[in-house]
């Protein structure tokens, strides 16, 4: 499962100012959709609407054919995982940060879950590996390491739908490339919405939509859009 569908979605934060003017797209289960466009176009707003942070003014949003307004917040949170741009970590251990929100789970259980989800290899991405660094304090980590923690935390939920909201834009370019490789691997296996600034970071998305001022102005695969540039 995990098909995400926006059908003629209209939305504004204020009644007088519409931000999305009828946005439609379908992300088939297991596929990747990238949303690109200038700052202020409404990309993050689409992600927030999918999480139902806000109610839409028109149209419909469905996951696997179910209108999200008819789904409980809890099941919506279980269905969608988000890797944000710059997650704020607790000044606690890596294990705590990864497992935070899993009520009653001990560190051993969190580590076991991380292993079961086959994410322990890349959590820290260092030769010493997961076991020795999981007790380290989150605040001492580099940007790339913090982003690995954010990814691991999201994957531990094993959500059918993954939202990457400019998940690498806060990183230096070498670390960005490295984390993008990790994310590409992960997104192959599940429905993914990628919010990105640049076309170059979403080369192998199944579909790319270009959003400008709340309207989809172009859509296609990477090669089509680069030709049109």
Which residues of the shown chain bind ligand ADP in the complex (CB under 6 A)?
A: 13, 19, 37, 39-45, 85
CB of 37 to ligand ADP, least distance (A): 6
HSE toward the beta carbon, residue 41, CA cutoff 13 A? 18
Cβ proximity to ligand ADP, 133 vs 213, nearer residue = 213
- Round to whole Å and give the CA distance between 126 and 38: 35
Nearest to 183 by CA among 81, 44, 57, 78: 81
- CB-wise, 41 or 186, nearer to ligand ADP? 41
State how far the Cα of 59 lies from the Cα of 91, in Å rounded to an integer: 42
Do β-strands 215-220 and 207-212 pair in parallel, antiparallel, or remain unpaired? antiparallel
Non-local CB neighbours of 15 within 8 Å, separated by 6+ positions: none
CB of 154 to ligand ADP, least distance (A): 16
149 vs 209, beta carbon nearer ligand ADP: 209
Which residue, 119 or 151, has its beta carbon nearer to ligand ADP? 151
**Distance in Å, CB of 32 to ligand ADP, minimum:** 18
Dihedral angle computed from the Cα positions of residues 126, 132, 136 and 140, in that order, rounded to the nearest 10 degrees = -20
- Nearer to ligand ADP among residue 11 and residue 130 (C-beta): 11
- Minimum CB distance to ligand ADP, residue 84 (Å): 8
User: Measured from the CB of residue 41, what is the shortest distance to ligand ADP in angstroms?
Assistant: 4
């Amino acid at each position: 499962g995990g098909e995400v569908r926006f059908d003629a979605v209209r939305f504004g934060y204020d009644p007088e100012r519409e931000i999305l003017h009828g946005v439609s797209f379908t992300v088939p289960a297991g596929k990747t959709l990238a949303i690109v466009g200038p700052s202020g176009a409404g990309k993050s707003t689409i992600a927030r609407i999918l999480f139902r942070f806000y109610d839409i003014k028109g149209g419909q949003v469905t996951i696997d054919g179910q209108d999200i307004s008819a789904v409980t917040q809890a099941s919506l949170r279980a269905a969608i995982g988000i890797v944000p741009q710059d997650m704020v970590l607790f000044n606690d251990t890596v294990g705590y940060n990864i497992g935070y929100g899993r009520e009653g789970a001990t560190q051993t259980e969190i580590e076991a879950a991380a292993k079961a989800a086959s994410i322990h290899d890349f959590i820290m991405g260092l030769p010493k590996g997961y076991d020795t660094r999981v007790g380290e304090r989150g605040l001492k980590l580099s940007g790339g390491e913090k982003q690995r923690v954010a990814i691991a935390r999201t994957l531990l939920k094993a959500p059918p739908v993954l939202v990457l909201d400019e998940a690498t834009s806060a990183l230096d370019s070498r670390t960005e490339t490295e984390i993008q490789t990790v994310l590409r691997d992960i997104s192959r296996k599940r429905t993914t919405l990628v919010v990105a600034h640049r076309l170059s970071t979403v080369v192998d998305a199944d579909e790319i939509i270009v959003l400008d001022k709340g309207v989809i102005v172009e859509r296609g695969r990477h090669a089509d859009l680069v030709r049109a540039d």
